[in-house]
Amino acid sequence: MTKRLVFLDFDGVICNSALECLYSATIAYYSKYLKVQVASIPLVFKKNFVHYRPFIRTGEDYVVLADLIDRGIEIHTQEDFDRKLQAYTADKLALFRELFYQTRRELIVHDFPHWMRLNPLYPGVKEPLQEVAKNPAIYILSTKVSDLIHKILQYHGIDWPEERILYSHTISKKEIIGSVLDSKNGAEATFLDDQLDHLRAAMDDSRIFPFLAGWGYVKQEWLEQGKIPVLHIEEFRSFLTEYPLPSVLPTQEGIDTLKET
């Protein structure tokens, strides 16, 4: 039996794709949806997009975010964003999703070097990932499609098998992790993400130990919530190779908490 499996989110944990998503969403929204040509992205639009990025879960959310910012609508919390998201019809969200991914694919075909430069890795993740690339117990689990993740990792010199890059689309990350644990006879899994809702949902499965990536797209209040432990970038290598982490001890309820050192 495999004792522990590890699941890593991609955007906000491994890759800082905020500028690429801003670029793709802006073109999708203005050029394809509104049919308006934009010569440059206003600084305030860029600032708000990056500020609100932590609330994003899936591809269509980026175009929703562009729409909200363009209309001057403020967002204060995840719940606030979710309420605004519910005001969009299923057809509108499907269109936004189609336009976003269509734009991204076109940029990859026609402007591949520039698109790749908009997807840098976070400092401190490349070498640890290279070291564990052959480890069958470590997976990447993301709402970004697998082949794009594979291309980005290859571009940065990481030869990660595509079969260990899992795409979460209509199935929750918790369900995917549980399914892999069942199929691999795994006893438990550690799950690193920068989106608090994914982590909270995963806590319903007592085999999954969630961690919040402190360097990703996180709000300050998420770092201070105290229930899900925050992993710091200097602990990333240990997270991949050791368990329990030196600074983290599991509670009896199956929820991890940071230990004061």
Taking the CA atoms of 25, 29, 31 and 32 in sequence, report the sign of the dihedral they define: positive
Cβ proximity of 98 and 106 under 8 Å: no
Whether the per-residue pLDDT at 249 is higher than 80: the answer is: no
The identity of residue 169, as a single letter, is H
Taking only the tens place, the pLDDT of each residue in 49-90 is 999 999 988 888 999 999 999 999 999 999 999 999 999 999
- State the Cα angle at 80 between 228 and 226, rounded to 5°: 15
> Could you tell me the CATH superfamily of domain 4-15+121-258?
HAD superfamily/HAD-like (3.40.50.1000)
Domain layout of the chain by residue ranges: 4-15+121-258, 18-117
Q: For the purposes of burial, counting CB atoms within 10 Å of the CB of 1, is it exposed (0-12), middle (13-18) or buried (19 or more)?
A: exposed
- What pLDDT, on a 0 to 100 scale, did the predictor assign at position 23? 92
Chain position carrying tokens 């940071």: 258
Q: What is the Cα–Cα distance from 146 to 143, expressed in whole angstroms?
A: 9
Whether the per-residue pLDDT at 260 is higher than 50: the answer is: no
Whether the per-residue pLDDT at 252 is higher than 60: the answer is: no
Taking only the tens place, the pLDDT of each residue in 101-115 is 999 999 999 989 999
Mean pLDDT over 229-255 rounds to 70
Q: What is the Cα–Cα distance from 191 to 213, expressed in whole angstroms?
A: 10
Mean pLDDT over 188-216 rounds to 93
Tokens of 207: 């085999």
Q: Which of 6, 30, 15 is nearest to 188 (CA)?
A: 6
- What pLDDT, on a 0 to 100 scale, did the predictor assign at position 225? 87
Share of the chain above pLDDT 90, in %: 74
Stated as kind and residue range, the H or E segment containing 166 is strand 165-167
Taking only the tens place, the pLDDT of each residue in 111-162 is 899 999 999 999 999 999 999 999 999 999 998 889 999 999 999 999 999 9
